[in-house]
Structure 1
Amino acid sequence: MTSSSEGGAQERDEAQRSAAGRTSPPNLERARFGGTERKPERRHDEAPVSRSDLSRGQSEIVEDPRAKVHWPVLIVSAVVIVAFSAWAMLMPQLAKDTMLAVVTWIATNLGWYYVVTVTLVVAFVLWVALGKEGKVRLGPDHSRPQYGLFTWVSMLFAAGVGIDMLFYSVTGPVAQYLDPPAMEGGTSAAAGDAVVWTMFHYGIAGWSMYALLGMAMGYFAYRWGMPLSIRAALYPLLGKRVKGPLGDGISTIALVGTVFGVATSMGIGVVLLSVGFSLLFGLEQGLGLQIALVVLAVVLTIAATTSGVDKGIRWIAELNLWSAAAMMLYILFTGQTAFLLNAFVENIGRFLVTLPERTLQTFAYEPDGAAWMGGWTLFFWAFWLAWGPFVGVFLARISRGRTLREFVIAAITAPVLCDFIIVSLFGNSALWEVLQGNDAFAALAVESPEQGWYALLGMFPGAMLLIGLATLSGMLFYLTSANSGAMVMSNFSTSIADPSQDGPKWLRIFWALLTAVLTIAMLIAGGVTTMEYATLIFALPVTIIAYLVMLSFSKALRMERAEREGLVLRRRSMAPTGGRAPERSLAQRLERLRSFPSKRQVEQFLDRVVRPAIDEVAAEFRAQGYVVERTTMANAATGVDEPLLRVSMDEQRDFHYQVAMVEAPVPMFGGRMSREIDVYFRLEVFTQTGSGGYDLMGLTKQQVIDDVLDRYEAHLGFLAYSSETDVASVLTPRLQQPTGTLPALGQRESADDEPRLP
């Protein structure tokens, strides 16, 4: 549930995004700049080279506000998956051998490429989070998060962590202890490094991929009103071409990679859960039980998927976190508590110290280095890459209003820490048994990871209770991934204008069924090993998407930087308050601190002071040759038509000045505490990226005029800085400029005098 003020803010967000995507009406004549030649119109297939171009993305990408199925993407992706599934089912041994040959070639020849790609992704997201652009929000400047911190972190963790982590939390450390990549196995040095390798594979690298795609898609969706999709995130790089075959190809690659990633997680999950169901209910283990669990899971997934994010996925995510926490506490306090805590601290320290070395490690000097990389690090990197578009969309879907810094830091810390706790507790519990001489358990954990995982649980007091809790937790992990996966697959194969909406329910059901078919096919073709091969192969094209997204998003962030830096650039004639709240007298400031106006009072002030001031500015602009649009924006939340002034800047981003009525809670402190009312109303100034954060109530007409001019002059500074810092690229070359001198930004038809407004 959201409060009335939150509902009003959401309505304001929608109105603001609509305004950001609009262009000047066609009947308004463009201003001529003193007879000089104008910049040519941008061709429809050119990529944006300024924020004015970027603001057209909503109208250029979205033709129909209704959700429409992308039939080319849907059909091609479905054909690829069905063909692969049929091949794996009809010729399982050939499929397994062929994929093994391809994986061997990739591990030998392209291992370095995977390593470099993941390293660059980690560096990029840290650069965004720690840089000045980290303050930019996934939405307008005034937007705020929809979910509370605990719920948000729960959904981050549950959506990005699959049941595969439980599967590898035992077999990974034991395998690295017995047969490490670059040291003698079975030693104390190997033991100290064993769990750290699994923590590394489930650590910052993978979540950085999620953060990259999530923040890029969320930024363009919520800040610029574009669809929540990969192709929208590439709009600054490819322009309107993202709507054509090129965009369809990118969406198809992302969708196929997502299906294989989710299917791999589902396959590993049913292999693991089949052992738990066998122990709990006495069922016979084998392929039959695994297929039955896939069918059962699909039925539950369809039921949960149709309930949407706020009901099904949110409830499962929170229950998942609580069940996993209960399982971890049980293992900690009924197992070797002192050893587990000591080992966890040492694991964290070793992970942090060796992270740079492991990130760039390829084992080029080890005889079997390529084989080890293909079976472990490269598989995990491919797995994260395949899951990247899927989890990225889901994370963006639940993170509206968060800053880029908050989004990235939370994504690479909170869920990663939860991963580390699970891996360390399970891995070190397994290592304790191996170090005590339990060779039979060590062999079982390596040869049959699912049996080894449940064998470890059977060693704790109250084994059946723990096995039941672990099976429940694993089932919730599985359902969360499958549930959100079906939703995201539906979104990838649909054109959706509103980022808050999802694809049609029938399409979610279709993808849930098709993913189940692919899972069963890979189980028949060889089980977990075949799934690892397929993931490593089909994730390779996704790496290209990662590079394109980094190029596209960095270009958009340069535009954000240009706007921020432009606000501090001032000509000598500019007022010192440009871009900030207007100066008030002492009496005005004291009155403002103790005044909480009602809606009627704000409407009267709007009609008496603000509208006449904006009308006067608009009239003077027109008199001096500017092309001006003076209109209103309907506010569904308040029922008030809000004044909007838009000054055409030719091919640059138009100047946008809108005054909006915003509901705010009355503070219970200050010069006068109000006990009679709970909310009051403010008149805030909005630009194309959101609220300026200050209130116009109580100003004089002249002060409002001065504020409009200060904002306009700050906008000129932004455009000047933007044009100086815009950088062309190979994919997005700078538009050819005509011969002759370009006019100054904002120049009028007659440039003899500066504007003189009363």
Structure 2
Amino acid sequence: MNPRVFWGATVIIALLLGAAVVAPGASDRIFQAAQAWVIDSFGWFYVAVVAGFLVVVVALAFGSTGRLKLGPDESEPDFPYPSWLAMLFAAGMGIGLMYFAVAEPVQHYAAPPEGEPRTFAAAREAMVITFIHWGVHAWAIYAVVGLSLAFFAHRKGLPLTLRSGLHPLLGRRIYGPIGDAVDIFAIWGTLFGIATSLGFGVAQMNSGLAYLLGIPSNPVVQVILIVVVMGAATISVLTGLDRGVRRLSELNLVIAVCLMLFVLAVGPAGFLFKALVQNFGLYLDHFFIRTFNLYAYEPRGWMANWTLFYWAWWIAWSPFVGMFIARISRGRTVREFVIGVLLVPTGFTFIWMTVFGNTAIALDMGAAAGAISQAVTDDLSTALFHFFEQLPGSAITSTLAVLLVAVFFVTSADSGSLVIDTIASGGADDTPRWQRVYWCTLEGAAAALLLLAGGLGALQAATLVAALPFAAIMIALCFGLVRQMNADVAGVAIGPETPPLRARLKQILSPPRRKEIERQIAEEGVPALRSVSEALEREGLPDPAMKLSAEEVRLEVGADPETRFVYRLTAEPRPLPAFSNLEAPEGRRTQEWRLIARTEPRGRRRDLTGLSRDQLVNDVLEQLAEWRRSPRPAAP
């Protein structure tokens, strides 16, 4: 672990949760007062930065930086295009869509921010507002964090943590107190964002169980549900059921799609197809007005409860979702990444919200006679089950809904603990299981204690406040990302590794001599291979060995001569052109020397002349990763 980040985040979270336990009434008032202060003082800031994030990621995608790879220039995507799109599609699903699929459109229809409620105009506005909250703005926030993590981890070889995105601005200072503070804020925001989602999920599970089994709906039952479901998440961490949870998530996604298709089949299908097209058109028409709308001239509490809460919630969730999409996007171009992240989950969400939201509004205007909107007004968590009451097979569909929420609950808690643990351990992904259990337990404790302190209102307030410092960090990530990507396009190194002007001119005008390449091997190559060898030894990997000779330096991993990994660095000459404008500074030389790397087995020759120690380490790790993924020959 990184002790400063691990224990620093723990202390901050413990202080907040301790206050909620010792004085629940006072803590609720404090959270609400903090939320009111943030909304009054920084509501404009949330709206402005979310619009800015969208502009930044679109500009990076369609500018000259769009062709950059999230990895070395020669890298290929880890996943085929259909699989990658499917995982982005899955990332758009979760407790939020289950909770708000009916609740949000009907709530805006029954209590719009402006205009008459329960009218056709209110119905149209309700869908536009829902699309804005769940559209490209949310995924632009995720894209900023995901793009920063993917670019600096996969392309620059830096740790998979938020601090790496500040390297162009701070250099090696990211490994000091500033970097620690960034990661602590990321953990703080992520944990409270996950706790908020868990609070929504458990409230909806409680409402479903009350509808199906008559179990009372109150905070005590909800805390019991948190304990039970977090216990299941903890078991998945302890027993290593990652593959099972992944398959369960895929099954969950299939069930969710089937549930949506069922609603489409038994609902007003023709109307829904027309509504989807019109909703999208209205979304485009209202896009810029809603992006910057703050009701500055007509202040209303609606903004704090909906738009500003959503922007804060997405910001708090961004390290979680950002790290997921960064991990699966190695080898993609920046343009592919941004287009996929912005459009694929958004497209599915628009279809989901139209099927559930428009059907609910149509039923409320007709057969339900206002019963759904009344239920939403009384308790948002019951909206989905009152909606199913109006359709055939309500007992079956409600049971499936409770099951979906429960499994989303488990997978969110398990994945969230992994993401937080990765940040708290400096980017490591092979930490002891007790650490993931620790964060998993803390997530459940945060959700339970904040529910007891003040219900979902306290969770919403805590999320909005926690997201404020991280929004400022995300602005810095944007500056670092733009600066580094533009430098890569221009072929210029930035940061403390930038060579002085004279050295760079010498590299251009003077072909390297043998002694210069030998000096690079001694000063950069040998320490780079030694650091990798020592790290492999600490991890207990098979028989790493360093070998030095007059001709080369090599790193070997594995005992089997047929399959072992061999990485060689050698100085090799190559002839200069017969006629060259670069002859004068060095006299009439016939050859220049280069630092050449070769990898066995199935390696290819690479020219690494002029690379720094960190860059050489990154090349070794890239080749080692390819070797690890390569198939082994079958035993005789």
Measured against the shorter chain, the TM-score band is 0.7 to 0.9
Alignment of 1:468-547 (within 5 A): 468-496=399-427, 501-547=429-475
Determine if contact 2:598/2:606 at 8 Å carries over to the other structure.
yes
Q: What does the per-residue CA deviation read over 1:213-236, in whole Å, with 9 as the maximum and x for residues that have no partner?
A: 111112111222211001122112
Structure 1: distance between partners of 2:517 and 2:423? 47
1:416 corresponds in structure 2 to 346
Unaligned runs of 5+ in 2: 494-507, 522-550, 558-562, 574-592, 620-636
Secondary structure in 2 matching 1:525: helix
Alignment of 1:184-203 (within 5 A): 184-203=116-135
Q: What does the per-residue CA deviation read over 1:419-448, in whole Å, with 9 as the maximum and x for residues that have no partner?
A: 112211111111112222622321211220
Alignment of 1:626-645 (within 5 A): 629=521, 631-632=552-553, 634=555, 639=565, 642-645=568-571
**Which of 380, 383, 392 is the matching residue for 2:310?**
380
2:513 corresponds in structure 1 to 621
- Whether 1:257 aligns to 2:189 is yes
- Whether 1:658 aligns to 2:596 is yes
**Which of 382, 407, 430 is the matching residue for 2:337?**
407
Query: Against the structure 1 CA distance between its residues 188 and 282, is the aligned structure 2 distance closer, same or farther, given a 3 Å change threshold?
Result: closer
2:272 corresponds in structure 1 to 340
CA displacement at 1:644 relative to structure 2: 4.4
Pick the structure with more helix per residue.
2
2:27 corresponds in structure 1 to 95
Larger radius of gyration: 1
Secondary structure in 2 matching 1:269: helix
Query: Against the structure 1 CA distance between its residues 387 and 628, is the aligned structure 2 distance closer, same or farther, given a 3 Å change threshold?
Result: closer
Structure 2: distance between partners of 1:645 and 1:394? 40
Structure 2: distance between partners of 1:626 and 1:632? 10
Query: Against the structure 1 CA distance between its residues 641 and 455, is the aligned structure 2 distance closer, same or farther, given a 3 Å change threshold?
Result: closer
Query: Against the structure 1 CA distance between its residues 104 and 377, is the aligned structure 2 distance closer, same or farther, given a 3 Å change threshold?
Result: same
Q: What does the per-residue CA deviation read over 1:629-681, in whole Å, with 9 as the maximum and x for residues that have no partner?
A: 4745547667555454599xxxxxxx975354688xxxxxxxxxxxxxxxxx6
Structure 2: distance between partners of 1:485 and 1:315? 17
2:261 corresponds in structure 1 to 329
Alignment of 1:1-400 (within 5 A): 69-306=1-238, 311-368=243-300, 371-400=301-330
Unaligned runs of 5+ in 1: 1-68, 566-578, 580-616, 648-654, 664-680, 692-758
CA displacement at 1:248 relative to structure 2: 1.2
Q: What does the per-residue CA deviation read over 1:231-255, in whole Å, with 9 as the maximum and x for residues that have no partner?
A: 1221121112111111111111111
Query: Against the structure 1 CA distance between its residues 308 and 496, is the aligned structure 2 distance closer, same or farther, given a 3 Å change threshold?
Result: farther
Determine if contact 1:169/1:198 at 8 Å carries over to the other structure.
no
Could you state the TM-score of these two structures normalised by the residue count of structure 1? 0.67
Q: What does the per-residue CA deviation read over 1:274-330, in whole Å, with 9 as the maximum and x for residues that have no partner?
A: 122333444333223211211121122123335669625532332232121111101
CA displacement at 1:505 relative to structure 2: 1.2
Structure 2: distance between partners of 1:424 and 1:307? 39
CA displacement at 1:126 relative to structure 2: 0.9
Q: Percent identical across equivalent pairs? A: 33
Which of 448-457 and 145-154 deviates more? 145-154
CA displacement at 1:82 relative to structure 2: 2.0
CA displacement at 1:143 relative to structure 2: 2.1
Q: What does the per-residue CA deviation read over 1:469-506, in whole Å, with 9 as the maximum and x for residues that have no partner?
A: 22222223222221110101111111246xxx243211
Which of 636-645 and 139-148 deviates more? 636-645
Q: What is the alpha-carbon root mean square deviation over aligned residues?
A: 2.9
Query: Against the structure 1 CA distance between its residues 282 and 645, is the aligned structure 2 distance closer, same or farther, given a 3 Å change threshold?
Result: farther
Structure 2: distance between partners of 1:646 and 1:92? 71
Secondary structure in 2 matching 1:658: strand
AA aligned opposite 2:28: K
Query: Against the structure 1 CA distance between its residues 641 and 367, is the aligned structure 2 distance closer, same or farther, given a 3 Å change threshold?
Result: closer
Secondary structure in 2 matching 1:373: helix
AA aligned opposite 2:340: A
Secondary structure in 2 matching 1:226: coil
Which of 407-416 and 146-155 deviates more? 146-155
Query: Against the structure 1 CA distance between its residues 289 and 151, is the aligned structure 2 distance closer, same or farther, given a 3 Å change threshold?
Result: farther
Determine if contact 1:159/1:481 at 8 Å carries over to the other structure.
no
Structure 1: distance between partners of 2:572 and 2:232? 51
- Whether 1:685 aligns to 2:606 is yes
1:561 corresponds in structure 2 to 489
Structure 1: distance between partners of 2:101 and 2:275? 15
Secondary structure in 2 matching 1:110: helix
Determine if contact 2:53/2:141 at 8 Å carries over to the other structure.
yes
Query: Against the structure 1 CA distance between its residues 175 and 622, is the aligned structure 2 distance closer, same or farther, given a 3 Å change threshold?
Result: same
AA aligned opposite 2:513: F
Could you state the TM-score of these two structures normalised by the residue count of structure 2? 0.79
Determine if contact 2:518/2:571 at 8 Å carries over to the other structure.
no
Which of 178-187 and 456-465 deviates more? 178-187
Query: Against the structure 1 CA distance between its residues 625 and 283, is the aligned structure 2 distance closer, same or farther, given a 3 Å change threshold?
Result: closer
Secondary structure in 1 matching 2:596: strand
